[in-house]
Structure 1
Amino acid sequence: MSPQVLLDGAIAGAMIGLGAIGVTLTYSILRFANFAHGDFLAWGAYFALALSGAIGALAGGLAAPIEPFSFGWSLPLALLLAVPLTAGLALLVDALLFGPLRARRSAVIILVMASFGAALTLRSLLEFTFTSRPAYFTSELQIALRFGPVRATPDQLLTLAVAAVLVLLVHLLLTRTTLGRSMRAVSENPALAGVVGVDVRRVVRFAWILGAGLACVAGVMAGLLVQIRPQMGLDLLLPLFAAAILGGIGSIPGAMLAGLVVGIAEAATVQLVGAEWRAAVAFVILIAILLLRPQGIFGRAD
């Protein structure tokens, strides 16, 4: 495997890993697989796209590219606004759909099927609002930087750095703060956590906020490096779940590491077999890990 394939896979894996963190948080705390998570990623990208365009229209100087990147200050500012908007969307979906179902103590399969319906609704709203045509944050061309045998654009290197910083911050949040300890307690035993004074509802709300916020960042990264489409969340959904399960449900470093594994495996498949087989890689990894080590890399066997 060439160094270039490893780098390309790591860049793709950084996006997958950030999205997988939201999947693993939702599953470990709320106890169901949220198939609408990929669409939060797509909504985050479109929120940032719309806000970036509005900021650029109001202050044209902010849209000018920042050397050596392909985008201007309008995109980082839009991202700062898109994150709370995406988190708000996730809280709205929870308040209208998942919250009432939890209050009725609905079976897990009901929550899963409800997430399918939420995903279809969110995706249809995206297509209705923004159409199905691909969109881009910028049309600027970049010259790749060469580092020995590998090449990467400044945008790609920035996404790797941003992903690394965010994973470190989330890990510190979950391990060094009271809220993080509360989240880990709820993931272990929600009933017992409530008995000892943990505000379970607050933990659930924060899980949605954190997962959706990271999904927004992942969506912006994907839109910056590839393109923005209403189907982008659906395309990334299987890799997100593969990374979340491979890393071990509840493990933040595990989700990120597994995202890198999935990304590198996809990049290697494109080089060795062909791009048409790329979508099958996450499915193969998912089936293999479920058969061989269902608790994942950092997970614990029940």
Structure 2
Amino acid sequence: MIEALLQALVNGVISGSLLALPALGFSAIFAVLRFPHFAIGALATAGAYGAWVVNARLGLPIAAGVAMAFAVAALLGAALEYGVLDRLGRGGALMKAIGSLALAMVIENVLRFAFGNDLQAFDLPLARDVVFGPIRIGPQQINNLLVALGVMAALWAFLALTPLGRSMRAVADNPDLARLKGVDPRVIALLTVAVGSGLCGVGGTLIGLDTSIDPMTGARILLSVFAAAVLGGLGSIPGAVAGAFVIGIAEELTVLALAPSYRLAVSFVVILAVLTVRPAGLLGSRAA
């Protein structure tokens, strides 16, 4: 039992690191644009297919595929924001949220038409699991964890140390004051959507590397990503990471006692428990 618990905890940490990237993208977009962008799952899938084409079709290393995943998802997310969602914003946050759901369905069906419904696997070398006592970890899982942690560190450095990152934080805190300081909130909003969408693309690729991809890859993780963002505190970047790890571990521990189909239900039970005690989420700030 102890061995199974340790294995579940390790699996949960790895799963949480993969959920953290799209959860970061979701929270970053919410922090600046103030609407839940439900197309992030479809953007994650689009990025994963971009990486798959580069790796499996063109034969390039997976590092190039990850870079392509970020670029594809970032450009697609920015184009949809500029061409569709920004115009829907005149109807309020709810209209944009509904529009993002509609766009998600469009993207999923375009991917289905282009690539079919079959599962697609990346071109990866076969390797033995790494064994630490009773714990077994796949080499690709270790690579995914390291890439996810590296991307999180790069995002932190970008937000903390670069002028564009500081501008994004300023617009998230107070767009009117940022405008007085010479920052254009609309440009920053578009940049935020691009960065957030790119994070989703990388997250979708890492999930595909761990398993496989199909047009519904992102849709299957959407509720878990949303749960992680809400649990951590909507709009909170550190909260999205914390929430993702809590959800990832909770879902893996669930499998020890219940059927895998109950994983998502347990995640929302965790949300209800935490939000009952702290309505703003783990690291969210209370509204005044």
Bin the TM-score by the shorter chain.
over 0.9
**Kept after mapping to 1: 8 A contact 2:88/2:99:** no
Residue of structure 2 in register with 1:264 after alignment: 249
Alpha-carbon offset, residue 282 of structure 1: 2.6
Which of the residues 14, 34, 57 maps onto 2:17? 14
Of residues 85, 91, 100, the one that matches 1:98 is 85
Contact 1:32–1:112 (Cα < 8 Å) also in 2: yes
Q: Which residue does 2:56 correspond to in 1?
A: 53
Q: Distance in 1 between matches of 2:120 and 2:270?
A: 30
- Percent of aligned pairs with the same residue? 36
Aligned counterpart, 2:225: 240
Question: Pick from 24, 29, 32: which aligns with 1:26?
Answer: 29
Equivalent position amino acid for 1:226 in 2: T
Secondary structure (helix, strand or coil) at the match of 2:91 reads: coil
Deviation at 1:296, TM superposition (A): 1.2
**Does structure 2 retain, via aligned residues, the 8 Å contact 1:244–1:255?**
yes
Residue 143 (1) aligns with residue 128 (2)? yes
Could you say what secondary structure the match of 2:58 adopts?
A: helix
Q: Quote the Cα distance in structure 2 between the aligned partners of 1:288 and 1:131.
A: 40
Distance between the aligned counterparts of 2:83 and 2:279, measured in 1?
32
- SS, match of residue 301 in structure 1: coil
**Structure 1: distance between partners of 2:85 and 2:126:** 43
Aligned to 1:66: none
Quote the Cα distance in structure 2 between the aligned partners of 1:126 and 1:23.
21
Q: Which residue of the other structure, out of 189, 196, 216, is the alignment partner of 2:201?
A: 216
Q: Which amino acid is 1:92 matched to? A: A
Residue 76 (str. 1) matches residue 79 (str. 2): no
Alignment partners' CA distance in 2, 1:282 and 1:158: 26
- Map 1:96-245 onto structure 2 (within 5 A): 96-102=83-89, 105-138=90-123, 140-245=125-230
SS of alignment partner, residue 118 of structure 2:
coil
- Greater shift, 248-257 or 149-158, is seen at 248-257
Q: Is the 8 A contact 1:246 1:286 kept in 2?
A: yes
Contact 2:233 2:240 in 1 (8 A): yes
What is the aligned partner in structure 1 of residue 258 from structure 2?
Answer: 273
Question: Please, what TM-score do these two structures have when normalized by structure 1?
Answer: 0.89
1:63-120 CA-partner distances (Å, limit 9, x unpaired):
xxxxxxxxxx2x2212222321211111111122112223xx2221111111111111
Q: Distance in 1 between matches of 2:13 and 2:183?
A: 37
Q: Secondary structure at the match of 1:197?
A: coil
Alignment TM-score, normalising by the size of structure 2: 0.93
1:224-257 alpha-carbon deviations (Å, 9 max, x no partner): 1111011111110111111111112232222112
* Residue in structure 2 matched with residue 70 of structure 1 by the alignment: none
Paired AA for residue 128 in structure 1: F
Matched, 1:294 2:276: no
CA RMSD of aligned residues (A): 1.6
Question: Deviation per CA, 1:117-167, whole angstroms, max 9, x where unpaired?
Answer: 111111111111111111111365431111233110111111111111111
Q: Which amino acid aligns with 2:64?
A: L
Q: Which residue of 1 is the match for residue 45 of structure 2?
A: 42
Paired AA for residue 10 in structure 1: V
Letter in 2 for 1:188: D
Whole-angstrom distance in 2 between the partners of 1:285 and 1:269: 11
Q: Which moved more, 1:287-296 or 1:28-37?
A: 287-296
Which runs of 5 or more residues in structure 1 are unaligned?
Answer: 57-61, 63-72
| Amino acid corresponding to residue 151 of structure 1 in structure 2 | R
